[in-house]
Structure 1
Amino acid sequence: MDGLRVAVLLAATLSTGLVAGVFGIYANAIMPGLARTDDKTFVAAFQAIDRAIINPLFLGLGFLGSLVFTLLAGVLHLGETALPWIAAAFVLYLITVVVTIAVNVPRNDALKAAGDPDSIDVTAARAAFDEARWRSFNLLRVVLNTVAFGLLAWALYLTGKSSAQP
């Protein structure tokens, strides 16, 4: 049972860190880079990036996997010293999922639904996307996910420490 508990907690930690990294790269490179482009380039590039990220690896093992692994880690650590840290990480990650579904995804979907950048008003599509709002909520996701990652790393440390004691 110890091996399974550690493996699931490790999966939760790694997947949460991976997602924090994805959100971080959007905050630090993708969105600042796209902000420097013209409207047509912004719309076309963002549409292409968003279509590419919707894949089983990111959605399954990363974005949703983190939620499932963290929940499962919590269940497997009931009564253990790591549980409060895992529970806090789960709550923060759950908030991240809610923010993503409520704020970021609808903007992504609306921009994709606007149509082909060669045949739409790209200035209006970009304005409707509201980059500032998207970036603000993405920054919230970065912070929440990074803290959740740190909490899970601490829980992993506590789990290792408690299993090393005789």
Structure 2
Amino acid sequence: MSLRTVQTISLIAATMTTGLIAGVFGLYAHTIMRGLGNTDDRTFVGAFQAIDRAIINPLFMLTFFGALLLSGVAAASHLRGDARRAAPWILVAGVLYFATVVITMTINVPLNDAIKAAGDPDRIVDLAAVRADFHETRWIAWNVVRTVATTVAFGCLAWSLVLHGQVRTAAGESRTPPADRVIVKGHPSP
């Protein structure tokens, strides 16, 4: 497999997986947590536990951790040759995504685990205390940070795809005009 193929595949896959995760976090921020916030304590605890159990599945885990790995492969493969113009954008995306993983593992997951450890909602004596101990506002605030970080990372990767597509082929032909040149009526600017 050529370096160009590795660059292309890893960059497309990193962009797609990062976009999917940004969508998941955005869905939580704008829909799921808002909906759960309007429920009683029993419904909140039970529904959050059920959602947390459902999201821990092979496809989500592959996408969540795959985005980080694929961003790393894309960044490393773009450090050489004509594709270097895309590397800084991919690196920024990777750093933002890594920060998201750290936030998830150090803030959101421990809060998820705490509500899970409370046990069956039908057997919990003080559901209001369990919900309060969950620190709903903190979870939501850090999820918004994750949403913004992954969305910006997605934007950086999308821009790097544009730059990647502007790299000259081995034969020296440009597939797209360089970003600093404008074509007017079929004639490139000087």
TM-score (norm 2): 0.85
* Pair 1:137-2:142 in alignment: yes
- Tell me the alpha carbon deviations over residues 47-85 of structure 1, each in whole angstroms, 9 at most, x when there is no partner: 00000000110011x110000000010111113110000
Structure 1: any 5+ residue segments left out of the alignment? none
Structure-1 residue corresponding to 2:75: 74
Identity of matched residues, %: 56
Compare the two structures and name the one with the higher helix fraction.
1
- Tell me the alpha carbon deviations over residues 68-120 of structure 1, each in whole angstroms, 9 at most, x when there is no partner: 00001011111311000000000000000000011000000110111000001
* Pair 1:86-2:90 in alignment: yes
Question: Any runs of at least 4 consecutive aligned residues in structure 1 with deviations exceeding 2 A, and if so which?
Answer: none
Shift of 1:3: 2.1
Which amino acid is 1:11 matched to? A
| Greater shift in the superposed pair: 75-84 or 9-18 | 75-84
Distance 1:25 1:75 in 2: 31
Give the number of equivalent residue pairs.
165
Structure ranking higher on relative contact order (CA contacts 8 Å, 6+ apart): 1
For the aligned residue pairs, the C-alpha RMSD in angstroms reads 1.0
Which amino acid is 1:143 matched to? V
* Pair 1:27-2:25 in alignment: no
Query: Any idea what SS the aligned residue of 1:118 has?
Result: helix
Which amino acid is 1:50 matched to? D
Distance 1:8 1:85 in 2: 14
TM-score (norm 1): 0.97
| Greater shift in the superposed pair: 37-46 or 77-86 | 77-86
Distance 2:127 2:167 in 1: 57
Structure-2 residue corresponding to 1:54: 56
Structure-1 residue corresponding to 2:164: 159
